[in-house]
Amino acid sequence: MHVTLNGELTDIAEGSTVAGLLEHLQLHRERVAVEVNLDIVPKVAYDGHGLADGDRIEIVHFVGGG
Amino acid sequence: MTTQKDTWTIAGREFTSRLMVGTGKYASFQQTAEALEASGAEIITVAVRRVNLDRSKESLLDYIDTKKYTLLPNTAGCYTADDAVRTCRLAREAGMSDFVKLEVLGDEKTLFPDNEELLKAARILVKEGFTVLPYTSDDVIMCRKLEDIGCAAVMPLGAPIGSGLGIRNPYNLRIILESVRIPVIVDAGVGSASDAAIAMELGCDGVLMNTAIAGAQDPIAMARAMRLGVEAGRLSYKAGRIPRKLYANASSPLDGMIA
């Protein structure tokens, strides 16, 4: 299925969860925040939050800034 | 007096260092870490950005002890209240802390704050339980409004972000200092250690800077200079300077002159 991940159209496995996607991307869940269709997904919900075709996903983290 | 404890608090959290530093624009994460160490800062700002899905997974936080530093995520690059609020919510989820440096910019050339959007965002964020530290114009009316909304501090600019022009309007800062009860932190404009000292001598509670350190030829040395500048300025403020006079006042006694 296709989702928009950080602005890029991306193909991910059917039935993926937020937790599964982070694992696939090798990202630490403690260090990121995830938004799906403009709603923040709390960290405790990563395992249970299924992704759907067409979802718009943002994964952000902290970078250097002033 | 010099050995007395001189801590300050933001929203009930106590800090010793009055220098807050940014983590942007350094040559490497290693250099960032060394500059932070040399600065003695306890509060450091970070930005919230999309993870890069193509590149190395190396991250700033691999180099920073998050138990040692209080992270202050910013909303840099946001031009509307909606974008700033969205960024703060993401920052809280990423960092599990309510502290945010709220900036809502009005213009790319000056990076001056959009006061209308800033107030709007501050109201929403305070209601949602954030500890809001807003970057604002050096305008006492704005600062009072931000205090009334419930912000934890105000952070008036000394000069445009990254300009290094120093404290352009010390009189405005003095009026702000007399008019609000929450901490006043000069955010932006500092270029050198003497600028930082001037801000502190005015009685400001702290100074926040990034470019002045990261952009210096030797950022580690400048980080130390800024630390000393802030400490010197603070001590000078507390010690109470002599009044300015137009004419001389001899330091050596007039009694006992040989002729």
CA geometry: angle B192, B16, B211, nearest 5 deg: 25
Contact at CB, B90 and A26, closer than 8 angstroms? no
The pLDDT value recorded for residue B180 is 98
Which tokens in the block code for residue B107? 């213009």
Q: The tokens 């006694």 sit on which residue?
A: B253
Query: pLDDT tens across A16-66, in order?
Result: 999 999 999 999 999 999 999 999 999 999 999 999 999 999 999 999 999
Residues on chain A bordering chain B, Cβ-to-Cβ distance under 8 angstroms: 5-8, 25-27, 31-35, 38, 40, 42-43, 58-66
Q: How confident is the model at residue B102 (pLDDT cuts 50, 70, 90)?
A: very high
The pLDDT value recorded for residue B252 is 94
Determine the Cα–Cα distance for residues B125 and A23; give it in Å rounded to an integer: 31
B137 reaches A (C-beta below 8 A): no
How close B42 gets to chain A, by Cα (Å)?
14
Contact at CB, A32 and B46, closer than 8 angstroms? no
B44 reaches A (C-beta below 8 A): no
Query: Higher-confidence residue: B17 or B1?
Result: B17
Query: pLDDT tens across B176-190, in order?
Result: 999 999 999 999 999
The pLDDT value recorded for residue B40 is 98
Q: Give residues with Cβ within 8 angstroms of B4, minimum separation 6.
A: none
Give me the interface pTM, i.e. the ipTM: 0.95
- Average pLDDT of the residues of chain B: 95
Query: pLDDT tens across B12-62, in order?
Result: 999 999 999 999 999 999 999 999 999 999 999 999 999 988 766 788 999
Percent of chain B scored above 90 by pLDDT? Answer: 94
Q: Counting Cβ atoms within 10 Å, is residue B34 exposed (0-12), middle (13-18) or buried (19+)?
A: middle
Whether B68 sits among the annotated catalytic residues: the reply is no
Closest listed residue to residue B214, CA positions, set B180, B139, B164: B164
Determine the Cα–Cα distance for residues B82 and B60; give it in Å rounded to an integer: 27
Q: How confident is the model at residue B3 (pLDDT cuts 50, 70, 90)?
A: low
Rg for chain A, CA atoms, rounded: 11
The pLDDT value recorded for residue B55 is 66
| Chain B residues lying within 8 Å of A65, measured CB to CB | 22-24, 45-47, 49, 74, 76, 210
Contact at CB, A65 and B47, closer than 8 angstroms? yes
pTM of the model: 0.93
Query: pLDDT tens across B138-168, in order?
Result: 999 999 999 999 999 999 999 999 999 999 9
How close A5 gets to chain B, by Cα (Å)?
9
Please answer whether residues B23 and B54 qualify as being in contact, where contact means their C-beta atoms are separated by less than 8 angstroms. no
